[in-house]
Amino acid sequence: MGTNSTHVDLPGSKRSAYRNAKRGKPIEADARFEVTVRVEHPAVSSEQIRPGKNKKKGHISYRDFEATFGAKDADLNAVANFAAKFGLTVVAGRKASSSVVLSGSAAQFQKAFDVELYHYQYDHGTYRGREGFVRVPVELKGVVAGVFGLDNRPFARPHNVRPRSAGPEATSFNPQDLAAIYNFPTGVTGAGQTVGIIELGGGYRPKDLKTYFKNIHVAVTGTLSTVSVDQGNNAPGGDADVEVMLDIEVVSAVAPGANVVVYFAPDASDKSFLDAVEAAVHDKTNAPSVISISWGGPEGGVTDTFSTQMDETMQAAAALGITVFVASGDSGAADEGPNEWDHVDSPASSPHVTAVGGTRILAQNGARQAEQVWNQNEADTQDDSFGSSGGGISEVFPVPAWQAKIALPPSANADAKPGRGVPDVAADADPASGYNVRVDGQNMVIGGTSGAAPLWAALIALINQQNGARVGFINPALCASAGGTPFNAITGGDNKVGASEVGYNAGAPWNACTGLGTPNGQEVAKILDSSSKVGAA
């Protein structure tokens, strides 16, 4: 297709097949699935993301956000009329997230968006895919901002790693012990806060959680609930259970009074990922004040429209006073994926999230002794547990204003322009100094930046309770304190990987392995603005 004169290319939607993928038969005409259409909407201002001098104004409410920044009714109606014209069904229209979910057959979607869909086989399985641009009717030019779900190739992966062996220098920690080592606030439990966790598959077993918290002597008083996104649900029994249990156990061990809501999407496609984050950000019922994301993929492995729409969703989170943490990845400076991209991880590269890298920590008698960049050298690994703190320079997002005074290194990719530096902060992630967890009836040790992100999320839940307000988007305040007491600067190690040894070195006050460093929790609490009101009405 792609020749229909009634349609035009949707900018930023161009796709190519995964490297070494083989195109097979066309998708069956009667195959049914859902597609999310994002429409244009008013931009969130930097003033709204960072409340101005009048701090009493606080963050915007859900109601006001929808009225001010939600999609125009006329645009949502235009998409609905387009859907009816092509026999598609409107499943949901969401003004706040500026999206419309459509249901239909492959034949209907191919005609509606002037694309051809095929089965593709690649090194890690199969997917429904397309090549070239998505095309929209001329009358929707400037109305439709993105279309997700025509292609369901896996994009994101969980950022957890198991230890290669229990060597003489290996150790492990209960999450609350790391909180003490990092000097998290005491006398607070996260009560009154809700931490949202994004999961793209897997599940948890309540019996395991009960046993785990009993064994580590933590009395959890917050609630645990789930939200289904795109028919996803709590479905334990697979590899993704490791991620789900790690995230829940870290958050609740450190902030046992916080409510935890897990947003389950069915798979790791760009549609599921974006829909899950949208659901959490615009959830007026549970109103999370913190969101933790331990999934991601190479920045170059998704379309420009995905990067833009995900970042706009993160801007919405910032405006609503929600702090979002994203694991920076476990493949060092070479964020490897099906296309072997050498990029930073997405959505950690979004300028409106706090990206979390990884370290290896040595502690004795509850006190931090030494800490360096997490990097398991590939040559020393006898199994699949190789990993290193993800980080580098974005090739999608420019340098944000709050990083302007930080000496960012040039990109390790030749001829790349200056861009947003990743990560922003770090915490323990090496499986050799990993997290004690329980998954599907088994006690184990897990590492990866997947542990570091929920640890930071739990810290902010404690700080929010202590301050009596959401701190919201924290990156500007963190960068303003670069080199100060809120952080343990990481000056040893690197995230160089592979035979080419491409990557970045540690160093203060910021580096592309561990950002500003690991937290001195009580000092972090002091620098974060506590005077804006919670805007969750």
pLDDT level of residue 301 (50, 70, 90 thresholds): confident
- pLDDT for 340 beyond 80: no
Task: Please indicate whether residue 278 is annotated as part of the active site.
Answer: no
Provide the whole-model pTM.
Answer: 0.95
The predicted model gives 439-447 an average pLDDT of 96
pLDDT level of residue 295 (50, 70, 90 thresholds): very high
The per-residue pLDDT for 349 is 97
Percent of the chain exceeding pLDDT 90 equals 82
pLDDT level of residue 52 (50, 70, 90 thresholds): very low
Gap between the Cα atoms of 66 and 295, Å rounded:
27
Which helix (H) or strand (E) is 452 found in, with range? helix 449-467
Task: Please indicate whether residue 501 is annotated as part of the active site.
Answer: no
- pLDDT for 164 beyond 80: no
What average pLDDT does the structure give for the chain?
A: 91
More confident residue, 537 or 346: 346
Which member of 75, 151, 243, 249 is catalytic?
243
Gap between the Cα atoms of 102 and 489, Å rounded:
48
* Residue range 465-488, pLDDT digits in tens: 999 999 999 999 999 998 889 999
pLDDT level of residue 379 (50, 70, 90 thresholds): very low
Domains along the chain with CATH numbers: 7-148 (no CATH), 157-491+498-527 (3.40.50.200)
pLDDT level of residue 168 (50, 70, 90 thresholds): low
Which member of 34, 75, 208, 247 is catalytic?
247
The per-residue pLDDT for 336 is 64
Which member of 346, 394, 450, 532 is catalytic?
450
| CB environment 491-503: b (16+ within 10 A), e (fewer) | eebbbbbeeeebb
The per-residue pLDDT for 353 is 98
- pLDDT for 55 beyond 70: no
Gap between the Cα atoms of 274 and 327, Å rounded:
16
The predicted model gives 76-96 an average pLDDT of 96
Task: Please indicate whether residue 177 is annotated as part of the active site.
Answer: no
In 3D space, the residue among 307, 313, 354 whose CA is nearest the CA of residue 449 turns out to be: 354
Query: Residues 156, 492: contact at Cβ < 8 Å?
Result: no
pLDDT level of residue 533 (50, 70, 90 thresholds): very low
Q: Is 484 exposed, middle or buried (0-12, 13-18, 19+ CB in 10 A)?
A: middle
The predicted model gives 156-160 an average pLDDT of 94
The per-residue pLDDT for 381 is 45
More confident residue, 47 or 457: 457
- pLDDT for 501 beyond 90: no
More confident residue, 58 or 191: 191
DSSP 51-94: --S-GGG-SPPHHHHHHHHSPPHHHHHHHHHHHHHTT-EEEEEE
Gap between the Cα atoms of 513 and 389, Å rounded:
6
Query: Count of CB atoms within 10 A of residue 81's CB?
Result: 12
* Residue range 215-256, pLDDT digits in tens: 999 999 999 999 999 999 999 999 999 999 999 999 999 999
DSSP 322-375: -EEEEE--SBTTS---TT---S-EETTT-TTSEEEEEEEEEEETTEEEEEEE-E
Percent of the chain exceeding pLDDT 70 equals 91
Q: Give φ, ψ of 186 to 5 degrees.
A: -110, 165
- Strand 425-428 to 518-519 pairing: unpaired
The per-residue pLDDT for 482 is 86
Gap between the Cα atoms of 214 and 220, Å rounded:
9
What residues pair up with 293 in beta bridges, in sequence order? 198, 326
More confident residue, 164 or 531: 164
The predicted model gives 249-266 an average pLDDT of 98
- pLDDT for 536 beyond 80: no
* Residue range 396-424, pLDDT digits in tens: 999 999 999 999 999 988 788 999 999 99
The predicted model gives 379-387 an average pLDDT of 55
Residue ranges with strand state E in 117-273? 118-122, 125-129, 135-137, 144-148, 157-158, 171-173, 194-199, 224-228, 259-264
Gap between the Cα atoms of 93 and 37, Å rounded:
9
- pLDDT for 382 beyond 60: no
- pLDDT for 104 beyond 60: yes
Q: Which of 105-109, 318-322, 498-502 has the lowest average pLDDT? A: 498-502
- pLDDT for 378 beyond 90: no
